[in-house]
């Protein structure tokens, strides 16, 4: 059953890949810079954001192959090729899932945080997208603080770049 939810994950993947393209050009010092009001460094925030997306995908689709899990506290930096692949895999799993999920399935209650928190599956689905927007914005704030032009990641930019729509020329 088509719910329209898959479009949110298509946008999420586009925004993640575009941000990774920008961040790949940064130096180690820039990737590790920390500014007040953000989650942490760009490197830590990317690993946190993409690792969480893998977890949200696993909870939503009922399992997800991630070996080893992406961890923000690991010392070794992940390659941008690996980060892209992980972003692609989790978003594509959610695209496929949301293209066939029913409204009734989205209301199934999940036990999260080792059984200490209850929420409908729909909340996990929404959290996947909201969490990414929040952390991409924090990374763009860090880029701005570093004097680097952040990529346009809003939905209007997605409309123009990925969907081919936009301003009507007279």
Known binding site: residues? Answer: 48, 131, 135
**Residues annotated as binding site for a divalent metal cation?**
48, 131, 135
For helices 80-100 and 121-145, the axis angle rounded to 10 degrees is 150
């Amino acid at each position: 059953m088509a719910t329209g939810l898959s479009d949110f994950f298509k946008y999420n993947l586009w925004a993640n890949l575009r941000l990774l393209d920008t961040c790949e050009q940064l130096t180690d010092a820039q990737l590790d810079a920390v500014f007040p009001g953000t989650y942490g460094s760009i490197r830590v925030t990317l690993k946190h954001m993409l690792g969480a997306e893998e977890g949200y995908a696993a909870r939503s689709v009922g399992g997800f192959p991630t070996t080893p899990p992406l961890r923000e506290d690991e010392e070794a930096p992940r390659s941008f090729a690996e980060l892209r692949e992980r972003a692609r895999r989790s978003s594509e799993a959610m695209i496929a899932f949301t293209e066939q999920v029913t409204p009734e399935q989205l209301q199934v209650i999940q036990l999260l945080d080792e059984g200490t928190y209850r929420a409908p599956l729909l909340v996990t689905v929404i959290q996947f997208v909201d969490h990414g927007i929040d952390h991409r914005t924090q990374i763009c704030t860090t880029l701005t603080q570093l004097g680097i032009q952040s990529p346009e990641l809003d939905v209007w930019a997605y409309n123009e770049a990925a969907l081919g729509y936009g301003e009507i020329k007279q």
